[in-house]
Chains A and B, each alone.
Chain A
Amino acid sequence: MSLVLKLNGVEHTVDAEPGTPLLWVLRDELQMTGTKFGCGVASCGACTVHVDGFPMRSCITAAEDVAGAEITTIEAIGATKEGAAIQQAWEELDVVQCGYCQSGQIMSAVGLLTENPKPSVGDIHDYMDGNACRCATYQRIRAGIQRASEIMEG
């Protein structure tokens, strides 16, 4: 079936079978490879994108269900205030190791700061619980979110 997806402000017409997860449309059809395949069952968060501003797991989100919505991926999140702050903090603190989960970590972290610009440690733990990092970069992710919050305050 033909779908029109609005990705990072640009409309793309794609051909995808009903039920195809957005993740595979992004990756296989559009070669937007920043969004990662980690588990396929929404338990690691590596595939996180924003749909109308809210983080969603693209591995279990059918593409046709988000046709017409504003979809933002890691490739464009730096254009937002929160995304720029998170990316700056991530570089300052060298949060990444292997880096494979970090697109998803950043998309979730941006979602958190958008909803809650000054999160407590408990808020961070609650919000980021679904994003796994097998390199265990967690304390730098936590510090990165706190640093980004400072950057946003100016």
Chain B
Amino acid sequence: MTLNTSRRGFLKGAAAAGAVLVVGLKPNGALAAGGSTAQINPFVKIGADGRVIAIIKHFEKGQGPATGLSTLIAEEIGVTMDQIDYEFAPSNPELYANLAFGQIQGTGGSTAMANSFMQYRTAGAAARAVILDAAAQATGVDAGTLDIVDGMVTGAGTPMPLGDFVAAATELEAPAEPTLKTPDQWRLIGNPDIRRLDSKIKGDGTAMYAMDVYLPNQMIAMLARPPQQGGLVAGFDDSAAREVKGFIRAATLPNNAAVAVYAENTWAAMQAREALSVEWDLSNAETRDSTQIKAEIMAALDADAEYNVLKNDPAPMDQAAQVIEQTFYFPLLAHAAMEPLNCTIEANEDGGVTLHDGAQMPTGPHMAMAQIFDLPMDKVRINTMLAGGSFGRRATPTADYQVEAALAFVITDRTRPVKLVWSREDDMRGGYYRPAFGHKVRVGLSDTGDIVAWDHRIAGQSIMKGTAFEAFAVHDGVDHSSVEGTADTPYTIPGMHVGLTDTKKATSTLWWRSVGHTHTAHAMEVMMDMAARAAGRDPVEFRLAYLGDSTDAKRKAGVLKLAAEKGNWGNAPAGRTQGIAVHKSFGSFVAEVVEVSGTADTGIQIEKVTCAVDCGIAVNPDVIKAQIEGGVGYGLGHVMRDEITLTGGVVDQYNFPDYEPLRMRDIGAIETHIVASAEPPTGIGEPGTPPAAPALANAIAQTGTIVGVLPMINDGVEFA
């Protein structure tokens, strides 16, 4: 790949984008008096003290890019992980676009490492090249014989700190295609002992999330939103709110979508909002119950499919010796990250605005701010803070909560910063849910127990249609995110038909950790198990029969066999049953063996989960393990007992007591094995989630209970 890593090219680009990025540099590029840090290229700053700062273009919600991208920079320059710090990039898609997203800066689809791997290595190598060139000029030793080891320039007598050459290096042009270190030279990439760079600050209370932004003189704003989506403000009475000490005022947002309550502090804002009386215009509001939504989806499964996504010459189902059939229902789900949504907006001295946000997709709110405040893009700054989780919720195509903050700010005199705070209830009831989906699958088996036909119907609410992502994700009417993981499965399934029907949205929907794979993996892998049992064959051996010679099939078979081996497949301890599932998502392959005790009647206890993952080159093996552990927990927790339901269009759930999170006692040990690979890195934030729920369902099936309706507690499963 080519990449503009030269400093001059970068400065030119930065100037064109109007960004103010260069810290501690005079206009001519020299270190400013008293300044201590030089920007070597868009991704690397180095101080005169030799400390390297990696500029992280992805937001950190716990999935590890701050550590991962810093690892790449440190590796290529030749410093230790103790010698590198990180900071988050400003919003500037010309420099910091997600290379998987085109011109959009953002994080999602488990692409952070995949799209950055070459870019950050190249940036680190370019920084190394100019430092070595500067050292060569200073010492008269050929740059080719110099090296940087643990932050010291070696090869010219006594090792010298690399910081000694930073000032001179800023005057040099970096090669456009610097030489990268080869895998045999890696000391950090792939090193299981590398620790997270954000562990300490997250354990001593000093980590700063958007919720922790306290600007001088800021107001807190909380919004009174309509009880149903689509409702509008018809009027309000704030006489009782005025009695709350600390209340400032209430005002209807310019789009009539909510009433903003401004207060001196969060508690006053909460009390005043409680005291506010709002009259709503619900003439265009959603009024359906989730039971109706479910009925519509299930009816669609029995009608002709709207789109035939895959029609593979199906063998007539009536020629099958036996047909097994199962329907599945997947409910709406909330993301419910630990940090309720929030952001803070303030006016800048130059007439622009700054948004302080755990910004998952900065380009969206950046454009929205420019539009709302009628500002050129370069007058809008986004300060990306740590995010207390997201699972997809912080990246809405509408920039929903950032737009709320902007609208709440634009109607003030803008002398006081406005911090928009959502309560847990706001967060739980705020829409943008994992859409409800139904699957109906019929699998035809021959008299020898081989699959001869697989008819797979899917119905549900498209995530991408009607959004800015439609052009990229919807083709011939088919939202790929509704069917991913079925029609494109690495299994070679004879006579496969995949049909899709879009149903009307009852509420705003959004990607939710692993997007379509949250339901498609479940249906695919539960059916595979049912087919194997019907054929009287071992579920692992049965799956392997449909994993052929393609690269994907081999990698999928590889993790399946590894998980089976490490999970002691087929040899569960007395009193326990096992289930297995394997799935490819976001370029990665994950297999999981879930081992349970108990039965659906007496109470299921998840005792152990054994995972195998192939995500290409494992940059930070321990981060990969952590992501698999978290992905498994996220998948299992929801499938056990969580759903969002609507009554008359109103969300029934309020807070964690009625959307019960996975708790520590719910799940035993999770063990993760990583397949050694030289393939480019692929996703890891999401791929651990899809196989978890079907592996659990398959384990429960071994106890005699087939689960079709989720969450499992709605289909007769008790948990210990």
Contacts and interface: CB of A to CB of B under 8 A. Distances in A.
A37 B623 CA distance: 26
A143 B195 CA distance: 16
Contacts of B626: 94, 97, 137, 140
B656 A39 contact: yes
A74 B204 contact: yes
B389 interface: yes
Contacts of A102: 202-203
A43 interface: yes
A128 B336 CA distance: 20
Interface string A31-52: 1111111111101101000000
6 contacts: A40-B424, A44-B661, A99-B198, A99-B386, A136-B630, A141-B664
Nearest to A102: B202
Given A90-B199, A94-B196, A101 B204 contact: no
A21 B267 contact: yes
B667 interface: yes
A101 B667 CA distance: 18
B663 A132 contact: yes
B664 A124 contact: yes
A135 B203 contact: no
A87 B338 contact: no
Contacts of B667: 136, 138-139
B340 A38 contact: yes
Contact of B387 (A24, A90, A98, A106): A98
Interface in A52-106: 73-75, 78, 87, 90-91, 94-103, 106
Contacts of A141: 664
A46 B336 CA distance: 14
A131 B662 CA distance: 10
Nearest to B194: A94
B203 A87 contact: yes
A139 B656 contact: no
Interface in B671-712: none
Nearest to A44: B656
Interface string A115-154: 0000000001110110111111111111000000000000
Given A38-B338, A139-B670, A24 B266 contact: yes
Interface in B608-645: 622-623, 626-627, 629-630, 632-634, 637
B359 to A, nearest CB: 14
A142 B664 contact: yes
Contacts of A136: 629-630, 632-634, 637, 662, 667
Contacts of B202: 96, 99, 102
How extensive is the interface on chain B, given as a class? 35 or more
A11 interface: no
B388 A36 contact: yes
A87 B663 CA distance: 21
Given A94-B199, A100-B209, A34 B204 contact: yes
Contacts of A75: 204-206
A97 B685 CA distance: 11
B428 to A, nearest CB: 9
Contact of A33 (B200, B205, B337, B663): B205
A39 B424 contact: yes
B629 A91 contact: no
B157 interface: no
Interface string B307-344: 00000000000000000000000000000111110000
A17 B664 contact: no
Contacts of B649: none
A27 B390 CA distance: 22
Nearest to A28: B265
Contacts of A140: 626, 629
A101 B630 CA distance: 14
A128 B663 CA distance: 9
B708 to A, nearest CB: 25
B12 interface: no
A100 B339 contact: yes
Given A91-B199, A102-B203, A137-B626, A37 B669 contact: no
Contacts of B622: 94
B338 A100 contact: yes
Given A17-B267, A129-B663, A136-B634, A98 B205 contact: no
Contacts of A128: 664
Contact of B664 (A36, A37, A106, A129): A129
Contacts of A43: 655-657
A31 B211 CA distance: 11
Contact of B662 (A24, A32, A74, A138): A138
Contacts of B338: 36, 38, 44, 46, 98, 100-101, 132-135
Given A97-B627, A132-B338, 20 more contacts: A24-B266, A29-B265, A34-B205, A36-B209, A36-B339, A38-B338, A41-B424, A75-B204, A87-B203, A96-B198, A96-B203, A98-B61, A99-B202, A101-B388, A131-B664, A133-B338, A134-B389, A136-B637, A139-B670, A142-B664
A114 interface: no
Contacts of A36: 209, 211, 338-339, 388
B425 to A, nearest CB: 8
Contacts of B337: 98, 100, 134
Nearest to B635: A136
Contact of A139 (B390, B423, B629): B629
Interface in B398-454: 423-425
A32 B214 CA distance: 10
B630 A91 contact: no
Contacts of B63: 97
A78 B391 CA distance: 31
A96 B662 CA distance: 16
Contacts of B206: 34, 75
A138 B664 contact: yes
Most A C-beta atoms less than 10 A away, residue of B211, B337, B662, B663: B663
Contact of B665 (A35, A46, A106, A129): A129
Contacts of B240: none
Most A C-beta atoms less than 10 A away, residue of B198, B337, B386, B424: B424
Interface string B282-308: 000000000000000000000000000
A60 B425 CA distance: 16
A60 B390 CA distance: 25
B62 interface: yes
B209 A91 contact: no
A18 to B, nearest CB: 10
Contacts of A24: 265-267
